[in-house]
């Protein structure tokens, strides 16, 4: 996953204020430009309608017989001007100008222009028997005017042109005329925009948990830092099975390089089972699986938001690392336990010797010292003679001291022998196996009557491998739980237990050995292991 760049909080305006300003500005500009477009469109439509109106009037006048006859006469304006003015006033147009073939005006709203030459500049096509509409700046202002030729002798001869003009308002004039409507629209739009943006901004703020974008970015950066600093591999997917989180530890274990954010988990790591977890909503803990040839322990948990499953997350750790930690922890615990037991036992013995000396029972004190020395030396001689691995010998000596403190009889088979270890297991692994077997047996008889507080231990070797037997006279294992004793995390002793026999079974499997349980309720349990060379 790509890291998030550091965030600098430079804006003094809150996201809510920014949204209100932006939304209000957009609404205002939208209405403003919409109004301008509307005015321009209205102006174009108006010009089109006015042009059609002018063209219709010009056609009507060009077909009047009085005008067709008078336009060629010397004093034709006397007949044409009254007709033109009457029509102009009736149709509410700005001017009607009738021209003869010499372009002389025979009618005009202004009397002094009658008899003068027409100077529009766009009249030439009309004198070639064409009718059309044009826009021009005339004497009275900008106008739309229609040119229609006057055809006499049944349309075979052109005798003049009728020009009908209608003044067109400018866009600025139209905007001025519509200013109240525009101002009102802008005001209403601005008010609606502000109110809408306020509600939108508040809702957006709630969605972002009342945090600013910079705060969210900083929080995301911190969360990513936390995920990357965790030693365990972490992979999370969304409801579409797309990867949302994959930290460096997960990439290292999976052998992945580069960013895989947004990729389908099945394309990256096919056997994570995360899609199934996201679908069923059932968690899986301490499962063993293989990723990129590495055996890992994995916890798979559905991600829920307000009771709805939105994805799943897997947290996994290299089994080798877990094993090393377990071995280290077991060794340290056993060493501390042995020291504690020996310290407690030696204090008791010193107190006994001190008491005998104070009572001046010197001979009894000497006899007591010889007896405890002989007992310890006998146990030490037996163990060091049978067990050639110093790590295991130290473990068994510590267990003898611990058993003595708990008033448990720990018996070792005098024919026991261990000259070498299986090639698949080292001293640390054997410490885990023997330590857990002996500890479980001692716990099974602890608290029982004295004649049942007995544990038997045997370790023998032959040409095929190593045989280990641990027996106790405890309460036994109930038949309904016997099949679960090697399950990771399963225990009847409470939280934080249930890993010892699981590790034992894992090491036995690694060594390609066997493990058997023979247990009878209230009579005891016998565990037999075989580890081939």
Domains 1-229 and 235-317 in one fold = yes
Question: pLDDT per residue over 301-342, tens digit each?
Answer: 999 988 899 999 998 887 666 666 655 555 555 556 656 666
**Residue that is written with structure tokens 């009738």 in the block:** 98
Instruction: Give me Rg for the CA atoms of the chain.
Output: 53
N residues, the chain: 533
Chosen CATH of 235-317 out of 3.30.450.20, 3.30.1330.40, 3.40.50.2300, 3.40.50.150: 3.30.450.20
Angle made by CA atoms 77, 79, 80, in degrees to the nearest 5: 60
E strand or H helix that includes residue 233: strand 233-238
Instruction: List, in sequence order, every residue forming a beta bridge with 52; answer none if it has no partner.
Output: none
Rounded distance between C-alpha atoms, residue 260 and residue 226, angstroms: 19
Sign of CA dihedral 282, 284, 285, 291: negative
**How many angstroms separate the most distant Cα atoms in the chain?**
172
1-229 has which fold?
Answer: Beta-Lactamase (3.30.450)
* pLDDT tens, N- to C-terminus, the chain (533 residues): 444 344 444 456 777 777 778 877 787 787 778 777 777 777 778 788 888 999 999 999 999 989 999 998 888 889 999 999 999 999 988 889 999 999 999 999 888 889 999 887 788 999 999 999 988 776 666 778 899 999 988 888 999 999 998 887 754 565 566 667 777 777 777 787 778 778 877 787 777 777 777 777 788 777 777 777 777 889 999 999 999 888 888 888 888 888 888 899 988 888 888 999 989 989 888 788 888 877 788 889 999 988 899 999 998 887 666 666 655 555 555 556 656 666 666 677 677 777 778 887 777 777 767 666 666 667 777 787 888 887 888 888 888 878 888 889 989 898 899 888 888 888 888 888 998 899 889 988 988 898 899 999 999 999 999 999 999 998 888 887 777 787 766 665 543 345 678 888 888 988 899 999 998 888 899 999 999 98
- Contact, 106 vs 100, CB < 8 A? yes
Say whether 59 sits in a helix, a strand or coil.
helix
Alpha helices in 255-318 (DSSP H): 265-268, 274-280
CB atoms near residue 43 (< 10 Å): 17
Helices (H) and strands (E) in the chain, counts: 14, 14
**Residue that is written with structure tokens 């600093």 in the block:** 229
Tokens of 286: 């301490």
Indicate the domain borders of the chain: 1-229, 235-317, 361-532
Question: pLDDT per residue over 130-188, tens digit each?
Answer: 999 988 776 666 778 899 999 988 888 999 999 998 887 754 565 566 667 777 777 77
- Contact, 399 vs 456, CB < 8 A? no
Checking DSSP bridges between strand 454-461 and strand 409-412, what pairing results, if any? parallel
Angle made by CA atoms 157, 162, 168, in degrees to the nearest 5: 150
Rounded distance between C-alpha atoms, residue 3 and residue 261, angstroms: 11
Tokens of 260: 């895989």
Rounded distance between C-alpha atoms, residue 257 and residue 279, angstroms: 28
Class of domain 361-532: alpha beta
């Amino acid at each position: 996953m790509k890291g998030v760049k550091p965030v600098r909080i430079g804006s003094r305006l809150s996201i809510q204020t920014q949204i209100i300003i932006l939304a209000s500005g957009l609404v205002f500009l939208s209405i403003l430009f919409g109004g301008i477009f509307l005015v321009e469109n209205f102006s174009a439509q108006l010009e089109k309608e006015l042009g059609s109106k002018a063209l219709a009037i010009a056609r009507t006048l060009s077909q009047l017989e009085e005008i067709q006859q008078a336009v060629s006469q010397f004093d034709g304006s006397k007949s044409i001007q009254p007709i033109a003015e009457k029509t102009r006033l009736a149709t509410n147009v700005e001017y009607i100008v009738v021209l003869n073939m010499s372009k002389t005006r025979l009618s005009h709203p202004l009397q002094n222009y009658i008899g003068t030459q027409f100077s529009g500049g766009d009249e030439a096509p009309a004198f070639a028997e064409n009718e059309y509409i044009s826009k021009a700046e005339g004497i009275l202002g900008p106008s739309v005017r229609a040119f229609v030729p006057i055809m006499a002798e049944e349309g075979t001869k052109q005798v003049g042109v009728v020009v009908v003009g209608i003044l067109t308002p400018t866009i600025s004039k139209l905007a001025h005329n519509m200013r109240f409507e525009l101002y009102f629209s802008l005001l209403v739009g601005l008010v609606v925009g502000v109110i809408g943006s306020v509600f939108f901004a508040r809702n957006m703020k709630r969605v972002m948990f009342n945090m600013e974008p910079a705060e969210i970015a900083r929080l995301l950066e911190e969360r990513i830092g936390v995920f990357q600093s965790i030693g365990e591999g972490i992979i999370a997917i969304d409801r579409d099975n797309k990867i949302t989180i994959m930290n460096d530890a997960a990439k290292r274990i999976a052998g992945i390089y580069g960013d895989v954010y947004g990729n389908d988990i099945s394309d990256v790591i096919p056997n994570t089972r995360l899609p199934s977890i996201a679908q069923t909503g059932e968690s899986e803990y301490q499962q063993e699986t293989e990723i990129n040839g590495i055996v890992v322990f994995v916890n798979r948990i559905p991600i829920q938001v307000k009771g709805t499953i939105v994805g799943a997350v897997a947290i996994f750790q290299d089994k080798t690392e877990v094993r090393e930690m377990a071995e280290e922890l077991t060794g340290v615990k056993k060493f501390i336990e042995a020291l504690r037991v020996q310290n407690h036992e030696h204090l008791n013995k010193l107190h006994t010797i001190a008491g005998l000396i104070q009572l001046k029972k010197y001979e009894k004190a000497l006899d007591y010292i010889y007896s405890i020395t002989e007992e310890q030396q006998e146990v030490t001689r037996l163990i060091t003679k049978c067990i050639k691995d110093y790590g295991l010998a130290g473990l068994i000596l510590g267990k003898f001291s611990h058993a003595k403190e708990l008033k448990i009889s720990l018996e070792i088979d005098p024919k026991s022998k261990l000259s070498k270890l299986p090639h698949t297991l080292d001293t640390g692994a054997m410490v885990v196996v023997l330590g857990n077997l002996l500890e479980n047996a001692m716990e099974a008889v602890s608290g029982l009557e004295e004649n049942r507080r007995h544990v038997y231990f045997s370790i023998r070797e032959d040409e095929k491998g190593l045989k280990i037997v641990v027996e106790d006279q405890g309460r036994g294992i109930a038949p309904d739980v016997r099949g679960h004793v090697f399950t990771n995390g399963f225990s009847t002793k409470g939280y934080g237990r249930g890993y010892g026999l699981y590790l034992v079974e894992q090491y036995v499997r690694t060594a390609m050995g066997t493990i058997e349980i023979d247990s009878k309720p209230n009579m005891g349990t016998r565990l037999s292991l075989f580890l081939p060379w």
